[in-house]
Amino acid sequence: MYIKMATLANGQADNTSLSNNSHGSPGSNGHMNGLNHSPGNPSTIPMKDHDAIKLFIGQIPRNLDEKDLKPLFEEFGKIYELTVLKDRFTGMHKGCAFLTYCERESALKAQSALHEQKTLPGMNRPIQVKPADSESRGDRKLFVGMLNKQQSEDDVRRLFEAFGNIEECTILRGPDGNSKGCAFVKYSSHAEAQAAINALHGSQTMPGASSSLVVKFADTDKERTMRRMQQMAGQMGMFNPMAIQFGAYGAYAQALMQQQAAIMASVAQGGYLNPMAAFAAAQMQQMAALNMNGLAAAPMTPTSGGSTPPGITAPAVPSIPSPIGVNGFTGLPPQANGQPAAEAVFANGIHPYPAQSPTAADPLQQAYAGVQQYAAAYPAAYGQISQAFPQPPPMIPQQQREGPEGCNLFIYHLPQEFGDAELMQMFLPFGNVISSKVFVDRATNQSKCFGFVSFDNPASAQTAIQAMNGFQIGMKRLKVQLKRPKDANRPY
DNA sequence: TTTAATT
pLDDT in tens, chain A (492 residues): 333 333 343 333 333 333 333 333 333 333 444 344 444 444 556 788 999 999 999 999 999 999 999 999 999 999 999 999 999 888 899 999 999 999 999 999 999 999 999 999 989 889 999 999 888 767 899 999 999 999 999 999 999 999 999 998 999 998 788 899 999 999 989 999 999 999 999 999 999 899 999 999 998 777 777 777 666 555 444 444 444 444 444 444 444 455 555 544 444 444 444 444 455 555 555 555 554 444 433 333 333 333 333 333 333 333 333 333 322 333 333 333 333 333 333 233 333 222 333 333 344 344 334 434 443 333 333 333 333 334 443 444 445 578 888 999 999 999 988 999 999 999 999 999 999 999 998 888 889 999 999 999 999 999 999 999 988 887 788 999 999 866 454 444
Helices (H), A150-300: 153-160, 190-200, 221-235, 242-248, 250-269, 275-292
What is the spatial order of strands in the sheet that A128-131 belongs to? Answer: A79-86, A93-101, A54-58, A128-131
Three-class secondary structure of residue A12 per DSSP: coil
* DSSP notation for A429-472: GGS-EEEEEEEE-TTT--EEEEEEEEESSHHHHHHHHHHHTT-E
Q: How far is the CA of A442 from the C1' of B4 (A)?
A: 45
- Please state whether strand B lies within 7 Å of residue A54 at its CB atom: yes
- Nearest CA to A55 out of A99, A113, A85, A86 is that of A99
The reply to whether omega before A390 is within 30° of 0 (cis) is no
Using C1' positions and the CA of A221, the closest nucleotide is B6
User: Residue A85: CB partners within 8 Å, gap ≥ 6?
Assistant: A93, A94, A95, A96, A97, A98
- Please state whether strand B lies within 7 Å of residue A279 at its CB atom: no
- Please state whether strand B lies within 7 Å of residue A181 at its CB atom: yes
Return d(Cα A322, Cα A467) in angstroms, integer: 12
Kindly list the structural domains of chain A, giving each domain's residue range(s) and its CATH number in brackets, ordered by start. 54-131 (3.30.70.330), 141-231 (3.30.70.330), 408-482 (3.30.70.330)
* Residue-level pLDDT at A309: 34
* Residue-level pLDDT at A476: 80
- Nearest CA to A468 out of A453, A457, A456 is that of A453
* Residue-level pLDDT at A284: 55
CB A236 within 8 A of CB A280: yes
* Residue-level pLDDT at A442: 84
- Please state whether strand B lies within 7 Å of residue A182 at its CB atom: yes
- Please state whether strand B lies within 7 Å of residue A58 at its CB atom: yes
CB A320 within 8 A of CB A364: no
Residue A99, φ and ψ in degrees, nearest 5: -140, 125
Q: How far is the CA of A318 from the C1' of B3 (A)?
A: 31
* Residue-level pLDDT at A63: 93
- Nearest CA to A325 out of A252, A388, A403 is that of A252
Using C1' positions and the CA of A149, the closest nucleotide is B1
- Please state whether strand B lies within 7 Å of residue A62 at its CB atom: no
Between the two ends of chain A, the Cα-to-Cα distance in Å is 67
* Nucleotides in chain B near protein beta carbons (<7 Å): 1-7
Residue A212, φ and ψ in degrees, nearest 5: -70, 160
- Please state whether strand B lies within 7 Å of residue A85 at its CB atom: yes
* Residue-level pLDDT at A223: 79
Q: How far is the CA of A131 from the C1' of B7 (A)?
A: 14
As a residue count, chain A comes to: 492
- Please state whether strand B lies within 7 Å of residue A83 at its CB atom: yes
Using C1' positions and the CA of A94, the closest nucleotide is B5
Return d(Cα A125, Cα A175) in angstroms, integer: 12
Three-class secondary structure of residue A426 per DSSP: helix
* Residue-level pLDDT at A443: 85
Identity at A16, one-letter amino acid code? T
Nearest residue (Cα to C1') for B3?
A: A172
- Please state whether strand B lies within 7 Å of residue A302 at its CB atom: no
